[in-house]
Structure 1
Amino acid sequence: MLVNPFSGNSSRSLPLEDGIDDHTGFPQQKALDIITTLHTSFADSKPAQVCQALLLELITLTGSEGGFMGAMEKDYFHESYLEVQAIINIHWHANVQQYFGARLERGQHFTNMDSLFGKVLSEGEPVLSNHPEKDEPHQPAIFRAFLGIPICHHGETIGMIGLVNKPGGYHPALIPLLQPIALTYGALLHTYRTQCSRESLEMTNQQLVTELHAFTSSLDDIVFELDENLIFTRIWCNQQHLLFFPEEEILGKCIMDFVGEHANAFLQLTDTLLRTGDAQYYEYADIRQDMPYWYAVKMRLMPASDSSPRRVLLFIQNITQRKRSELELRQVNADYARNIQILDITQQMALIGGWEFSLVTGQVFWTKQVYTLRELPENFTAIYNDLVFYHPEDRHLLEEAQTQLLRHHQPYCIDLRHISAKGTVKWVRTTGIPVFHQDKVNAFRGIIMDIDKQKKAEIELENAARSRSEFLSVMSHEIRTPLNAIIGISGILHDQPGTPHPELLQNLHFSANHLLGLVNDILDLSKIEAGKVILEYIPFDLHDLIQGITGNYQPLAAAKGLQLYTRIDAGVPQQVQGDPVRLGQILNNLVNNAVKFTNEGYISLELLPEKSDNHHVNICFKITDTGIGIQSELQDRIFDTFVQGDSATTREYGGTGLGLSITRKLVELMNSHISVESQPQQGTTFRFSITFALPGASTKPAPATTIDPANMLTGMQMLIVEDNKINRQVMQLQLNKTGAAVTLAVNGKEAVAKMKEQTFDGVMLDLHMPEMNGYETIPWIRRLQPDAFIIVLTADIMPEATEQLRLLEVKDMLPKPYKAEDLYRILHRYKK
């Protein structure tokens, strides 16, 4: 039952004296002794020790089994709790911790204010309960009896004493016995705390004064204290030599005695400070002569207090370095402005404009030249998606390039037609690159270059080259045809026994052949045709050549994020004999094209043996990429001079179209043929095979044997198809030596008519003829007389003629003029 000790009721009706004798067994003198001891305890011990000793005395005095004492505190939310300072004979277990709401990790904080001890703290009155299990039905039963005495000071509860488990329970008479002790402890504790707080404040104040002095003395600034009359009263300066005058000469003097020509400015500053209280700032040059220093003064007012009048604080800082930096910055800004002006002039002269797109802010910047190119005012809002300024047929190129730049950070550089706001069409070259900051892309930048004149010049050059090629084809035929007759007739006359003037014929033959060489040099369209190309037959390391070529292109491939690798089959010998320079030229062209036309994936160069013997090896070269591919209808044209896949490819990737033409000619010089396999957007594979001599074997072809034409074609029927009368006569005389029966035709139409009437073993024909030319005649020969061999003799040595004959599957061709022995060598293969 919970008892109010001040109501006069209790669980046992005993007199006060009887209660003390029966329940404590101690006299009231013991309580007085405890109070007396408390007065001396705080002088000799800490509060925790006093508290522990007092609690033990109270447990003995009351006959309790245990108890606890503590101070009342407030938490962050202003909720009360008991901070336990002493606890005796209370054994901890789960119910005890739950009852007190104990936070042991914080030094035994009791927070359960719904308990008996909580009632003591909240009400500030003693609480006695000899039946806690009834008085606290919602709390775990951990005590048999409880007595709580508040510790108060000036009516405020500052703590409590809790006693528990007195055998037989507690008598209310104990409360007035213990209250004086609690009041005495509270008064002494408050006095002790006040004294400690005062000592702590004094120590803190002394420490702050020391630290303030150390701080102000360590400042680079010079700190002055002045009174209201602007008289120096204190100085803080960590380096005395920084003062203009010794410190003892400054103290007690007025500031105006030391600022020289700046006196009026300082007087105005201090007047404003004292009148308004607002901080003041002023910069000034050193008052001493020949001292190139600058200073800044900050003035602050310290308001008056009960103990001191108003004071002025001056902070003097050396700002010379900052002033110099400002001058340098102004110079840098001037240099920057000049560089911008020079860049602007340079862009105007070079017709180049720049742009930037920020991924952070989304803003787009154009330089002046971009506005000029697009014929727009400079207040026009720049945009990144500027497809509207490009020709509709070219927009997809830029759109794809910008997509690759945004998604994969792949740089681009393409040529396309630009259309200004006023409809002006020009060719431009536009580029875009990613800008990295701390390994992340935060912007894109690029240029737009006006290449209209250059591009139109290129187009004109290409048209001129095409016209030149057509012109050279005609000139080749017109020059070589009569030259063939001259060489043929001189050869026939030279072979006649007893021919008069043999020296003149020799000179004629020499002059004709010399003219032939000059004509060949003039008519060449490529490096191969620029002069006589003689293949070398020298030993070289094939593996090293391959690794060197791929090594040269690894950086370019890596820059585009491509893999470039080689695969050399184990059966490919390391040492071979041939022409490494021409082979390198072929592979360089093909690998370069593969890297150029591949945007992602890989490029591979493979070498595979096809067949070999003790003296020779045939090696297949295979170059594969995962690039843009070639449309099937264009694959037959890509080896032509100045031809690429299509016009868009030319605009996007550049180039003249000579690479594959040169490659094909070089491969053909090595008695081979290059083929291509490709599908759009799925990659391309080029393949060719070359036979190399092995070291130790003969590296040069066997010397040509002399062919005797006499009776070589006896019994065979030959058809000569040639529109030039002299050439027909020369060819007839040459064939007469072979014993063949010769029939003549002046063009393809007449030849077809004769083939319908007669069977021939072979046909020799020219390409350029009236009514029906050689190209049109060859299919008729295949159809009418499929067993007849065909030998083309033509004055047209242009690549187009060679390619057309390849498509017609004509293997035997002699360019006019030709040597008779070369004709006989071909005819010898068809000897029966």
Structure 2
Amino acid sequence: MLATTFTGSLESDPDGGEMKDDMQLHERLMRQQKLLEIIGSIHDNFATPERIHNAYEHLLPDLISLTKSEHGFVSEVIQYRNGTIQWQPLAKSRMPEGEGSFATSLQKVVYSGQPHISTVDNGTATPWSFLGIPIVFQQEVLAVIGLITQTTPYTTATIQLLQPLMQVLGYQHRNAFRVREYQQLKNAHTELKSEWEALMMTLDDIVFEMNDQKVFTKVWCSQENLLFRPREEVIGKTISEVLGEHSIAFNRLADKILRTGEPQEYLYPDIRHSLEHWYELKMTLINSPQPGPKRILLLIRNISARERKHTGYQQAQSELKRSNQLLGICQQMGKMGGWEFNVVTGEMYWTKEVYALREVPPDFPITFHAAASFYHPDDQPAFEAARDLLSSENVPFDLELRHISAKGTKTWVRSVGRPVRNNNGHLTHFRGIIMDITDKKDTELALTNARDSAQKAAQSRSEFLSVMSHEIRTPLNAIIGIAGILEENPVTEHAEVIHSLQFSANHLLGLINDILDFSKMEAGKIELEKIPFDPAALIQGITTNYQPMAKSKGIELVTNIDRKLPANITGDPVRLSQIINNLLSNAIKFTNEGSVTIAVQMESSTEDTCNISFMVKDTGIGIVPEMQDKIFETFVQEDSATTRHHGGTGLGLAITKKLVNLHNSNITLESQKNEGTIFRFDIPFAVPENEANQLRKKEKQAAGFLNDITLLVVEDNAINIRIIGLQLKNSGATIVTASNGRQALSKMQEQSFDGIILDLHMPEMNGYETIPHIQHLQPNAFIIVLTADIMPEVKERLHKLQVKDMLPKPYAAEDLLHILEEAKSRKQKAESD
């Protein structure tokens, strides 16, 4: 694999919705498909090695498109013996001004042999991003691809995408180089052989004459230094005396020629082992017209250069064979084959992978039009239409089709076809690939089914929770509402009962809130609010609510709040209250004696931020070490006895941890069995300016503040209607009631209303269906929705219906009065404008 020298942040895959994930997956698949198409065309483009420029001219536009670049070039690297390096251009797009500024980055790629990403200042507002990728074979940089963009900077993801392509290019470029070198060697070999044959007709490097006693009598040599011994040490000596280890072979040849008269030939290395020279011996009898002893002529030529070139030729052949084998392996691993149609000769060609995919023998008759028969009958028209467009108008095609082999094997294939032109722009071939994509299609189908199942499961869960929320919160609204009304005029002997009623209802509300909040967190639909609040007042209010619970168990509830805390910070008081409530409730629940302490401390601050630490400590039963990592998991308590004795869903701490994480923080735990527990966490808050975002305290409304207001209360639960009436008793509002949407619309046709208090879940016509009719009949009336369904989808649907005011059931009477006061003010302001 290619290594990178890029230093910087990696691209991240941000957490988004399913649609965004699908889009990102689709984009990645499209880029990978484009890459496979490019890889598939490489073998065909490099088929003619002497035209390697053409191959890169075809490849460069595809790379620029794939990487979303504006410019690019390909240069072959030429390394000289003195260590200098030059570049020979192979392909080049229209380059930007100042292209010489990329030279430094290009040198880094060549010397390191690794991809390199850099930013080049070209004097404009937006600098160029440069990506240099080496084409490497066996650690040798053969060429460099340079890509340039000014829109989206390159990242390591771009390098990782191109890695398979670079590997194939390395093999192909080296293969083309070897074929080109092989051709050069072959031509040189032929030329050398011709020269050698011509020279042998005149004078060889060394010529010896020997008598019939195998004694050297004469020596001719074009270069004296070619003799392995001085001339005087050769003449008058026998073969055995002169040739040493080669004497046996020379004696055998001499004996045979003296016996038969047939010329002899022999190749041998230099007897001087320090020299890597090879020689060719031709031994013939000298024909003499006069009778006499036989004479032997030895023609010896130094063929070291020829042998070296022959060895290089053999090595080039070996490299070419290995490159073809590696390409074949790549095609087999990619389940991909290629095809070609010569438009001049009409010749059709398939690679062996296509024969294997279609399960036909090598002698199977193939034509340009017969390929359609291998596709599913329903897909044949699409293929034939694309093929005809390619043939008649030279329009490329890229299709995913169902394929049926000659033996009936069914697969999915990607079929690609494109026209190929020569340097003059004349059409010469149609070429393409056929790739088995069955695994990809199976994966896509599995992902689609999984997504559909997940969507159905999520919808079912949402619907169930919505119904459960409505069914539980509706009676809770009545219970809490009645308790609130009774608390306004308490009877002494009933005070404790009312308190118990409120505590039980709030406890039940806390349980259902835990379940709903956990569901929303799992769906990633909780977002933190950013509103001003007083942290000290928030903590004091929470601990005041828990004082009766602590007192009933005989334990002390201690509050320790840092006096340096700002009186006004910006954050989400509801979620912070939920965290503190869960921790305090657990601490009191699991502490039978001693105390529970909540401490709030200012850790650090600046002009507009502060970091506040929170600690909840108890002297309760504690948590054993082996359970401390699991206690924050869903539905986990220390043991079943804990659940039976203390109750609870096991969701409290899981939700607490998630809420703390939402604040970009962590919660820590310190505990020993029977020695108590300490929870700690820090949260950063913004501090608003002194005069901005000041806290607004809800003031109690004066009696009769709604004297001139007529309200229509649309609610199917008689108890809730009664409670709303009691809650608005002192407001002075005139109240008319209806039990469903149809009755409400009927009454709106009879009289006008200033506002409508509306439930969502009602028989015959629900709130969602009723709202558009209300807005049409009485567009100036304000709408306040009271609902026991608090799922996130409710706010989204109401927002689309342009309804601003909503109170979740159960609610406090003062919240209803406050929202009515604000709605009345908005209405009066709109009427005055």
TM-score range, shorter chain: 0.3 to 0.5
Larger radius of gyration: 1
TM-score by length of 2: 0.41
TM-score by length of 1: 0.41
